[in-house]
């Protein structure tokens, strides 16, 4: 037997009045068949049958009031009513099948294939592009340590060459730092040009001539004789021309500074250069002589090399490189003549110097050299 209790026919209605029964006791009804007309405070509604079966009892007569939740109709039914059971919440139901696949009680029977490595070793291996499977583990239980990765790198073919490692010291160390600093900061542009020195008198002192040509170049284009501060974006112009002279030595690169080159005679210039060469060779050059260059000359052609991309040392903004001068066939007045050529390479810091300024400077240097 099933009892159909009066459901709430509206929203929170406590009761309803029976207006008319559509069925009587003993009737057999279907699901959804209208059973009774009920009047509530809001409306008159037909109540459909929730079950199929035979009506055994009507719990009330027309015009009687029935409380919500009280028995309304009793059925005799074989129907098994779906019972979701939940008084709170809604359970998801479906006809889905549990696909449990091949469940393994415990773990899958597989042997450990991962390489055991310290996290630091993994990071290091990734940075150095080392395949951990190639590394010999020395840690406990076959563990690869960071040191194992380093050992692997040390044993790689590139490291197999013999040779002693030495720490850079002194001037060479300073050179390494200054060059790296320059590379990080400066925006260098290098322009190259040949200067025709055919008409230069024999036995001319080329170094002195070049120093004087730089002074002439600076006079024509003062923008190359400045110090530039990349942080504050300030440049400082100078009337004086302090020329740094790159001098090679076994200890490393020295750049002693020829102060006030613009005020020095040829003879004074030559004398200063000679003194610096000597003092660099015997390491007696004073630190104060190594500071304050406003522009630099690298006369690398004394050794070998035509063109170069010389490196500027901040705060200066320009360096002129002179390559090895040589005899060359030159076109002159429509004819080929054999003359003397000196290649020049000017690097300028394009943050502080324009291309126009740089080329005007180079032009003035060349013009000055060719007037001699």
Whether 258 and 243 have beta carbons less than 8 Å apart is answered as yes
Closer to another protein at the Cβ: 140 or 202?
A: 140
Is 110 a binding residue for another protein by CB under 8 A? The answer is: yes
Q: Residues 135-154 vs another protein: string with x where CB under 8 A?
A: ----x---x-----------
* Strand-pair partners of 44: 39
- Could you say which DSSP state residue 80 is in? P
Applying CB under 8 A, among 12, 26, 107, 157 the residue interacting with another protein is 107
Q: How far apart are CA 239 and CA 218, in angstroms?
A: 9
Radius of gyration of the chain (CA): 50
- Could you say which DSSP state residue 231 is in? T
Closer to another protein at the Cβ: 138 or 291?
A: 138
Q: Residues 54-83 vs another protein: string with x where CB under 8 A?
A: -----------------------------x
Applying CB under 8 A, among 2, 19, 59, 122 the residue interacting with another protein is 122
Nearest CA to 260 among 303, 292, 217? 292
Applying CB under 8 A, among 24, 61, 90, 335 the residue interacting with another protein is 90
Is 104 a binding residue for another protein by CB under 8 A? The answer is: yes
Applying CB under 8 A, among 112, 136, 165, 232 the residue interacting with another protein is 112
Q: How far apart are CA 31 and CA 52, in angstroms?
A: 5
Whether 277 and 258 have beta carbons less than 8 Å apart is answered as no
Residues from 335 through 364 that contact another protein (CB under 8 A): none
DSSP, residue by residue, 250-300:
TTEEE--EETTGGG--HHHHHHHHHHHHHHHHTT---GGGGS--SEEEE-G
Is 92 a binding residue for another protein by CB under 8 A? The answer is: yes
Is 93 a binding residue for another protein by CB under 8 A? The answer is: yes
Q: How near is the Cβ of 50 to another protein at its closest, in Å?
A: 19
Q: Residues 226-245 vs another protein: string with x where CB under 8 A?
A: --------------------
Residue with structure tokens 């719990």? 59
Stretch that binds another protein, among 13-21, 65-73, 92-100, 233-241 (CB under 8 A): 92-100
Spell out the residues 6+ positions from residue 218 whose beta carbon is closer than 8 angstroms to its own: 224, 225, 241, 262, 295, 361
Q: Which residues bind another protein (CB under 8 A)?
A: 83-98, 100-108, 110-114, 116-119, 122, 126, 139, 143
């Amino acid at each position: 037997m099933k009892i159909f209790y009066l459901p709430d026919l509206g929203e929170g209605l406590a009761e309803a009045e029976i207006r008319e029964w559509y069925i009587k006791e003993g009737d057999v009804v279907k699901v959804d068949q209208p059973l009774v007309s009920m009047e509530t405070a809001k409306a008159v509604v037909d109540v459909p049958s929730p079950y199929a079966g035979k009506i055994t009892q009507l719990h009330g007569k027309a015009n009687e009031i029935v409380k919500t939740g009280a028995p309304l109709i009793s059925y005799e039914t074989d129907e098994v009513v779906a019972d979701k059971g939940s008084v709170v919440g809604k359970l998801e139901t479906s006809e889905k099948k549990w696909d449990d696949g091949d469940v393994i009680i415990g773990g899958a029977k597989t042997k450990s294939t991962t390489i055991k490595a310290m996290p630091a070793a993994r990071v290091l291996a990734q940075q150095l592009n080392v395949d951990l499977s190639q590394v010999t583990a020395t840690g406990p239980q076959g563990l690869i340590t960071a040191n194992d990765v380093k050992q692997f790198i040390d044993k790689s073919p590139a490291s197999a060459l013999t040779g002693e490692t030495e720490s850079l010291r002194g001037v060479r160390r300073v050179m390494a730092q200054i060059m790296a600093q320059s590379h990080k900061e400066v925006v260098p542009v290098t322009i190259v040009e040949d200067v025709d020195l055919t008409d230069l008198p024999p036995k001319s002192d080329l170094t002195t001539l070049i120093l004087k040509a730089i002074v002439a170049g600076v006079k024509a284009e003062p923008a190359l004789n400045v110090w530039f501060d990349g942080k504050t974006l300030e440049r400082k112009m100078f009337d004086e021309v302090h020329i740094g002279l790159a001098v090679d030595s076994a200890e490393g690169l020295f750049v002693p500074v020829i102060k006030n080159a613009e005020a020095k005679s040829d003879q004074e210039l030559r004398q200063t250069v000679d003194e610096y060469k000597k003092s660099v060779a015997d390491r007696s050059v004073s630190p104060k002589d190594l500071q304050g260059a406003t522009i630099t000359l690298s006369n690398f052609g004394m050794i070998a090399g035509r063109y170069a991309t010389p490196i500027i040392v901040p705060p200066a903004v320009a360096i002129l490189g002179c390559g090895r001068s040589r005899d060359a066939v030159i076109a002159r007045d429509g004819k080929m003549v054999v003359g003397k050529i000196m290649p020049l390479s000017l690097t300028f810091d394009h943050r502080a110097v324009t291309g126009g300024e740089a080329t005007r400077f180079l032009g003035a240097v060349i013009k000055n050299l060719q007037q001699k």
